Amino acid sequence: MIKGIKFSGIASGIKPSGLDLGLVLFQEKTHVLSLYTSNRVKAAHILYDRKYEGDPVRALVVNSGCANACTGKEGIADLEVIGEKLAKLLKIGRTEVLFASTGVIGKRLPVDTIKSALPVAVKSLREGHAEDFAKAIITTDTHHKLVKETFKGKKDYSIIGVAKGSGMLNPNFATMLAFVFTDYPIAPDAIRAAFRQAVTESFEKITVDGECSTNDTVMLFTRRGEQDLSALGEFKAKLRSVLKDLAIMLIRDGEGATKVAHIMIKGARKKETAEKIARRIAISPLVKTAFFGSDPNWGRIICAAGDAGVPVEPAKVDITLQDQEIVKAGVELPFDEEKMKRMMNKNEIAVVVNLNEGKAVFDIYTTDLTFDYVKINASYRS
């Protein structure tokens, strides 16, 4: 619980059942830092928020069940209408309200439904209701994602991270919504670079399906007022920890996933080379289906590495799977097929590809590709 920040999550009727509208109220004017999707098609809430996120923030509204993306000027106007209604209820300015949405692309928000539900959302606000908020923002997730940490400065501070995401997860960055709240007083300029780096090292190192959404949003809310610089280092460390924990939660809850694979590329001449190879392997359907089938088919791994658009010398490549080296200098080492299948029949799979050309490294987390992933996404709108 963070004193001065209230949460609620209610069933407003956007979705046929379940919680679907989350609300956060900041008792005092609050700073915000935001990062958004790299997709050139952006949801209405991103276009709206960019106009006002430089101003003090007092409230955040997050809905699930409707992405409010590709809805034109009307989609932005809908947020203005909802914001005006909420501002009157909370007695704050409309431009002090920010939004985020997730769900099906191409549908406008049911404005009247949301407006009718706002009084209930406001009445339900409590400092201890972060879990209700977390539950209200999920879509195909099997569970909500919530992380809490504390740290010390001139006083004790708290930090809460909330995220949603299960499918359409891909670096640059992972498709999801994520919100971090803290009572730590610090100005945006003092942590902007650290925030960007923390996102890079967490959400940009996971992928489920290689798809990049229109709605990706990460927001960090910090308290205004006299800064406590004595705790700056501790805050940055906790921020990195919270975002990394949330990212791992997202990948473990990947749509239909039964396994998480950690792919490490070593020995590259440049980090960019290692990154491109890691990302190419991580999104390969053939590699991911091999993970699902516990198949030590290393040929799929080296094939994907060679198709990453960067130089690779096959005769130098070593591959280690589940801590057992199975390829040396581009040639298979003898291994027990059935034993390796048993080793791969785990929730966690480790892959190390050593290019043996330099010292640069890059790692990424991905999932297997399963029947259930196809089932979920074949009927997402129904």
Task: Tell me: do 64 and 154 sit in the same domain.
Answer: yes
Task: Tell me: do 265 and 121 sit in the same domain.
Answer: no
Which of 194, 228, 252 corresponds to the end of one domain?
A: 252
Task: Tell me: do 175 and 243 sit in the same domain.
Answer: yes
Which of 252, 277, 297 corresponds to the end of one domain?
A: 252
**What's the pTM value of the predicted model, to 2 decimals?**
0.88
The full DSSP string for 80-95 is HHHHHHHHHHHTS-GG
Task: Tell me: do 323 and 360 sit in the same domain.
Answer: yes
| pLDDT score recorded for residue 381 | 55
Task: Tell me: do 178 and 280 sit in the same domain.
Answer: no
What CATH number has the domain bearing residue 86? Answer: 3.60.70.12
Packing angle between helix 72-90 and helix 44-52, nearest 10 degrees? 50
Task: Tell me: do 218 and 236 sit in the same domain.
Answer: yes
Average pLDDT over residues 169-191: 80
SS3 content of the chain, % helix, strand, coil (to 5): 35, 30, 35
| pLDDT score recorded for residue 257 | 81
Domain count, the chain: 2
| pLDDT score recorded for residue 169 | 47
Task: Tell me: do 209 and 335 sit in the same domain.
Answer: no
Task: Tell me: do 129 and 39 sit in the same domain.
Answer: yes
What's the CA gap between 50 and 19, in Å, rounded? 27
Amino acid at 207: T
Which of 233, 252, 271 corresponds to the end of one domain?
A: 252
Assess contact for 280 and 305: CB atoms under 8 A.
Answer: yes
Task: Tell me: do 161 and 306 sit in the same domain.
Answer: no
Assess contact for 20 and 14: CB atoms under 8 A.
Answer: yes
pLDDT at 312 over 60: yes
Task: Tell me: do 86 and 171 sit in the same domain.
Answer: yes
Assess contact for 184 and 233: CB atoms under 8 A.
Answer: no
User: Hey, which residues are catalytic here?
Assistant: 175
Task: Tell me: do 156 and 9 sit in the same domain.
Answer: yes
What CATH number has the domain bearing residue 293? Answer: 3.10.20.340
pLDDT band at 39 (very low <50, low <70, confident <90, very high): confident
Cis peptide before 26 (omega within 30 of 0): no
pLDDT band at 171 (very low <50, low <70, confident <90, very high): very low
| pLDDT score recorded for residue 294 | 96
Task: Tell me: do 188 and 295 sit in the same domain.
Answer: no
Element containing residue 152 per DSSP (H, E): strand 145-152
Give the structural domain span for 291.
260-378
pLDDT at 102 over 70: yes
At 350-367, the pLDDT tens digits run 999 999 999 999 999 999
